[in-house]
Amino acid sequence: MNYLDNEGYPTEETLKLIRDFDLLRNGKEELLSIIKEIWCYHNCYQRDEERLTLITGGWGGNEDVIRALEGSMFWVLYWESSHRGGKYTFYLKEAETII
């Protein structure tokens, strides 16, 4: 699947995939892999064992991904904090026992 359009923005299909991603069936690692692949400014995708930090850098494509995540089960289970300037942190260990 081509996740980006000709201008490098996530396609509508990609944003729908993120919004509707089935964590129970596919697991969070597959979703995180997709996000990492399409995230512009790779140094603004920071991950360790416990946390994922996404910084949009003001780029519209990254902000579209965040909006798609906000409507997803991933956001419900893992969102930790949002900060002015487009910084979002997800605690990846919190929901391990749920899914």
pLDDT tens for each residue of 51-61: 999 999 999 99
Q: Are 81 and 90 in contact (CB under 8 A)?
A: no
Given a cut of 90, whether residue 98 has pLDDT beyond it is no
57 contact partners, CB below 8 Å, separation of at least 6: 40, 41, 44, 86
Q: Which residues pair with 47 in a beta bridge?
A: 52
Q: What is the pLDDT of residue 96?
A: 59
Given a cut of 90, whether residue 99 has pLDDT beyond it is no
Per-residue pLDDT tens digits for 23-44: 999 999 999 999 999 999 989 9
Give the pLDDT band of residue 63 (cuts 50, 70, 90): very high
Q: What is the pLDDT of residue 94?
A: 61
pTM score: 0.91
What percent of the chain has pLDDT above 90? 91
Torsion on CA atoms 66, 67, 68, 71, rounded to nearest 10: 120
Q: Please report, as a single letter, which amino acid is at residue 77.
A: L
